[in-house]
Structure 1
């Protein structure tokens, strides 16, 4: 039976995690579906996006009439958040459908909850980690401490086990006073750790792929009203 409402999701071509996380969340929310399409992971300019691929992806999703379109990827933080704002605005103008991104959704989520001191488990190398510290800092969010996994091949991030991610998160929690720990790649399997660390430490662990979905849900709620 066709569900009345849906989230349209654009994800990177090499991602193996976003669809699983989306299904696990939406399985608890009857009446909301998800539609997926992909864009190439590589080939974007260093300071933005290959807009042609996104326009095509959004146009195809629009044919399924979702209530919102979400770019569920974390690239926007690495390149400074403004390209994501331009991307969301352009796709919304072309499709007439509200559009957001995981990077923008995460800033909004953290800011609204007063989560300012963050530990980051991130996919890239130390240079990427320093860049994320700067870009998040400009949004009023301090990356206090981070573990950078040194993974540049996006597909390889999906091979990192939840147990490995948990180990990194626990070490971050022990290293500094934090408001939250953020697993920063939608191709890292951090969703199982959502909530609090198994050790009982009172620090929420936020999975980037899940945060994108959570922040898209109010658009569907509005459509239902």
Structure 2
């Protein structure tokens, strides 16, 4: 029997959104399954206790457990590279591959690949984060992709568990506010944020291709595993190779 391709996801321990969403995205794609390994993450800020959650040791330990399942790709389904630096994500991926022999990626690196593939040079940004973290994400986009961020909306929250509890009315108000100016795309950064559940509605209503950090890492991991992302239906323009301008 031929096994499906297996994507291993490194998951923040307090995240309740990404696992069900990834499983739903792949529900009608029997060629791929998703598997998860958690490590401690409860707070998103620039304080030292929050930054230390992303030390490589626990992440590599979680990756090793995924390797026991002989997954084809390991993805850090998280956005810490947005404020720690995309070079940190790249180093993490190289260490995962060195330790396990399995190719690796992250949500932020997947975004950058999607931006490059779709010639994205301007963005609007929505997150649940504090302004200081949003500013660092904006800087990373400029440094690594020469991408200009026009409008930014955040929730000024730091408790990771709370991100999943932001209501849809507030999320839509944020998307509506940034969409006052048309750009090459809308970036939604956070893998514990429920905006992803209404991605096609937001794309149609606000005329933006949405690059949400949960589906975008599934998109890239599928490509790395040799499965056509276009097999995914109902989760936004990215999977269909479309871009709203």
Q: Which residue of 1 aligns with 2:165?
A: 159
User: How much has 1:103 moved relative to structure 2?
Assistant: 0.8
From 182, 192, 198, the equivalent of 1:177 is 182
Match of 1:54 among 55, 59, 65: 59
1:144 aligns with 2:184: no
For 2:7 and 2:170, locate their aligned partners in 1 and report how far apart those are by CA, in whole Å. Answer: 30
In 2, Cα distance between equivalents of 1:46 and 1:62:
25
Conserved 8 A contact 1:119-1:144? yes
CA, structure 1 residues 31+44, in 2 after alignment: closer, same or farther (shift >3 Å)? farther
Gaps of 5+ in 2: 43-47, 228-245
TM alignment of 1:1-225, pairs within 5 A: 3-41=3-41, 46=51, 49-139=54-144, 140-174=146-180, 176-195=181-200, 197=202, 200-221=205-226
TM-score by length of 2: 0.84
How many residue pairs match? The answer is 222
Deviations 1:62-86 (A, max 9, x none): 0101110000001111111111000
Q: CA deviation at 1:56?
A: 1.1
* Change in CA separation of 1:178 and 1:21 when aligned onto 2, cut-off 3 Å: same
How far did 1:48 drift? 8.6
Superposition misfits of 4+ residues, deviation over 4 angstroms? 42-45
| Structure with greater strand share of residues | 1
2: CA distance, partners of 1:49 / 1:159: 23
State the TM-score, normalizing by the size of structure 1: 0.91
| Alpha-carbon distance, 1:57 to partner | 0.6
Assess if the C-alpha contact under 8 Å between 2:4 and 2:31 holds in 1. yes
The Cα of 1:192 is off from its aligned counterpart by 2.5
